[in-house]
Structure 1
């Protein structure tokens, strides 16, 4: 008799073990059926990865939170963490001779907070008559957490003029010691997180910079002419964000 009991127990144990990992249909006491893969079978509990039914009725009192399904490796706009943002920008404007365009590059490194605000520091290279190195404080705001999300941005800092102290001119003189000025940049854009931890960004904004140049002429050594030029440019930017 004991041999029969042992054999029956072993049979059911092997049958249950064979079911683990395979798709099964389970009939409940109320007659409803659940189709899925048995993940584990322990004393009193059966853990099932549900495949069917596609509609499940749940008691609201037992629900803690409802949120959209997302890939756990997918980064959204408001997910917190460090970021690197590299952009290539086209600066468009006008001067006395017509439309002018120039290319600039910007690299920002900072931290994204869950409230949508990110803070960082930026460094770039631009050309406004003389090469300019902007060193700036960067702030960005995402009003919503999505894979494709709009944002507002602003940058403020100082643009340092980058040129030799003296440069020969064609009209018997030379330019010396150009200076930059405080800079300002703001605009709107869209980030598209098309990869798990990276995004493409596009933006449209406004850029302000002032450059001061000093000209001294051989025929009038005591005279130095100061020329201040203010630049107001429309900025088109395309970049990449890495988290």
Structure 2
């Protein structure tokens, strides 16, 4: 994944969106992140950027993400965005310097949170770079797939990408790269995953696809 390019594109779009948001929109709860509003999600993104620049090794745990939001609780959106914008060049230097996969996580984080925010505001999905996100997330899932559960051939129907989860293709899952990336990163409920285009019965594996807790409610974006 080209983390710097993915991150920069997402940040640019989110900063452009921020300039248009009303107070009501900023206070909107984010269904994918039930404890946060839109403004708090921006605060988290600024916090991740500052923390990684400051030496934090990704990923952030729940305590860290809560701190990131709490530290910016008194800041308005302009202040949050100004901090985020000022720290981003140094984060891009971290991306260039660090080769471990965990340093790709801030790019994954901002891509998903952009779509989380868009979903909360009733906006459509932003699918650019979904192929890169699917490659990173589904590829990671394949490397850790348990050998004692059915194997799954996963096909991204819009990009032609394919992965094999396990040693054999007992089942097949076909979906767009965007849906695969969202499902594997805890943005699709188990019901939504089971309702995707499967060959074979997915009941033994649908709950194993999310690498983060799956939401209880179905998400539209």
Note whether the superposition's TM-score is higher than 0.5. no
TM-score (norm 1): 0.23
Q: Counting strand residues as a fraction of each chain, which structure ranks higher? A: 1
TM-score (norm 2): 0.25
Q: Counting helix residues as a fraction of each chain, which structure ranks higher? A: 2
